[in-house]
Structure 1
Amino acid sequence: MKAFIFDLNGTMVNDMPYHAAAWKRVANEVLGGNFTDEQIKQNMYGKNAEVLVRLFGSGKFSPEEMDKLSEDKEEQYRREFISELALLPGLAEFLERAHQAGIPMAIGSAAIPSNIDFVLDNLNIRHYFKAIVSAHDVTHSKPDPESFTKPAALLGVKPEDCIVFEDVPKGAEAARNAGMKAVILTTTHPVEDFDALDNILHFAGDFNDDYIKALV
């Protein structure tokens, strides 16, 4: 393959439990909801405003209120996760090998720019990525393909020449909609959650997996 495109949360760093905890606090303690862990998990994909609409319905919050709730949630996530911030095992070595091999790499994430900066700059890995596409750079969230077609275009490669690294079904579906194959990191969802998708190349627990190593 000619390029790699990475989702961020749950794919490069194992932070989804921290996002879930932050969302649960906002939804239940701040907003008075009564959501279970599973309900939070199933709904916390895409842009933050979309998560709030899925949980509470449209029209409940103004755009300004959603911005403030989103900011509070992300500040809690970063505060709680900073001491645990680390790449998935094997990813640092994989990025360096791909970089040395001249394989262009990009990020296509539903994360807001400040959360992407939080990971890339604290872990000093920004130099590996020739394109970064955040939630603010797309009109439609995953499973819409824009989060992956846009970084592919910025890299100057065809969709069929990209491998996407993802951890959630909606992300893998976005890759399929973009005409891309996907490798799934099983940090967030079990293998059976991806049964409906036909573009999955492989499932792996981390980047020390032999199949992933053989991609470079």
Structure 2
Amino acid sequence: MAAGLTGAAILGRIPGRIILSDPAPLPPQQSFQSCEFCHGRGRLRSTSSFPGISPQRFQQRRGATVISAAMAMAATQEAFVPSRDSRREHLEQSFVAAPSPRNRADDASLNNPLLRRERMGCGWLGVIMEWEGVVVEEDLSLDRKAWRAIAEEEGKSLPPAFLLKRAAGMKNEQAISEVLCWSRDFQHIKRMAKRKEDLYQYMQRGTYRLLPGSRDFVQALKRYKVPISVASTRPRRITERAIEAVGMEGFFDEVVAAEDVYRGKPDPEMFLYAAERLGFIPERCIVFGSSNSSVEAAHDARMKCVAVAGTHPVFELGAADLVVKRLTELSVVDLKNLADLDAPEFQAPEPQLEESREEDRDLEERRFMAL
């Protein structure tokens, strides 16, 4: 606004008015000069453009025009500038935080703060981890070689690839009797199952490699006091020896081996027994597997399943509740959300009202009368 008040000095400000001194005289031969207070109706001209008007009269008219335009602009600015109180209220309303969601694990009626802290912790969920494919690397080629070796020893035909793929994850006795159908004699099945496991251990030579991030993830679970159980279809002596070989003894609360269950995957018996040993209901347990048979067994037991894509690609494990490439991609918050009993899949089905039988009787009577 100061640029528009050319030739006039501002003496003071009053709300709605500006007091100006007498404008300074313009040169007699001034060229055209634009004025922003003329509302777009023209330009301020010099005295040479107005014949018959004295320079003093021209200066008075010009000063009156400038003063009225300045008063109009000041009134417009004051009308649109918000007050300081309104701006403060607007800022306070814009920075009001949204209310945080209620923590379903917390119970405000409990008077013991330590008990409330325990409820909001992670001790109310359990983790069941498969040993091979989740904690250590799994070599399916050695397992197929062991099956072919025992087939040659027993004089059986070599099993096709689709049968060996189906037998993966099962107990040896279960695969021999139900998938390969080599024998129905219990003693013969036990002998072949033991021989096959010995061949597999001989080919493996007791070498185990931890998957990247598996040790760190198990340590994080132990730090948050999450009970962990290992589930394996290998014999107990072999599973415990493997745990000692990788230096993870004492990390797991329970070990479920082949001797503890009658059937392996995809039967949920192994996972149900592991949940019983941990002391949790199935809905509070999360299974970590590496195959579709593990996902099927976990869902049949009403457990959530996290699939680790290692021996199988990610797109083949889409039936799992969560698919990761490494265990380090998970956090404890993800596990608590999976084990939430308020999730829709854990809700009991809504009771459906039975259809009224009176309408059916009326319809039958009408049909009978029509006949």
TM-score if structure 2 supplies the norm length?
0.51
Other-structure match for 2:323:
203
1:10 corresponds to 2:10: no
Give the partner amino acid of 1:112.
P
Q: 1:157 aligns with which of 276, 280, 283?
A: 280
Deviation string 1:66-114 (CA, Å, 9 cap, x unpaired) is: 2222222222222222464112111111111111211110012222213
Other-structure match for 2:145:
21
Q: Which has the higher helix share?
A: 1
Other-structure match for 1:31:
155
Matches within 5 A, 1:177-192: 177-192=300-315
Other-structure match for 1:101:
224
Q: What is the CA-CA distance between 1:131 and the residue it aligns to?
A: 1.3
CA distance in 1, matches of 2:263, 2:166: 18
Q: Is the 8 A contact 2:174 2:263 kept in 1?
A: no
Q: Is the 8 A contact 1:24 1:37 kept in 2?
A: no
Detail structure 1 runs of 4+ shifted over 6 Å in the superposition: none
Give the partner amino acid of 1:77.
Y
CA distance in 1, matches of 2:146, 2:193: 10
Q: What residue ranges of structure 2 are gaps of 5+ in the alignment?
A: 1-121, 336-371
Give the partner amino acid of 1:80.
M
Other-structure match for 1:66:
189
Larger relative contact order (CA 8 Å, sep ≥ 6)? 1
Q: Percent identity?
A: 24
Matches within 5 A, 1:159-174: 159-174=282-297
Give the partner amino acid of 1:21.
K
CA distance in 1, matches of 2:167, 2:236: 21
Other-structure match for 1:78:
201
Deviation string 1:147-200 (CA, Å, 9 cap, x unpaired) is: 1122112212222222110012121111101111111122233344445x3xx2
* RMSD of equivalent CA atoms: 2.4
- Compare 97-106 and 144-153 and name the one that shifted more: 144-153
Other-structure match for 1:126:
249
Give the partner amino acid of 1:41.
K
Q: What residue ranges of structure 1 are gaps of 5+ in the alignment?
A: none
Q: Is the 8 A contact 1:43 1:54 kept in 2?
A: no
Query: Which is higher, the Rg of structure 1 or of structure 2?
Result: 2
Give the partner amino acid of 1:101.
Y
Aligned length: 211
Other-structure match for 2:81:
none
1:146 corresponds to 2:265: no
Other-structure match for 2:73:
none
Q: Is the 8 A contact 1:24 1:40 kept in 2?
A: no
Q: Is the 8 A contact 1:167 1:189 kept in 2?
A: yes
TM-score if structure 1 supplies the norm length?
0.84
Deviation string 1:112-163 (CA, Å, 9 cap, x unpaired) is: 2133123112223231111111221123332222211221122122222221
Q: Is the 8 A contact 1:131 1:154 kept in 2?
A: yes
Assess, with a 3 A threshold, how the Cα gap between structure 1 residues 186 and 21 changes in structure 2: closer, same or farther.
farther
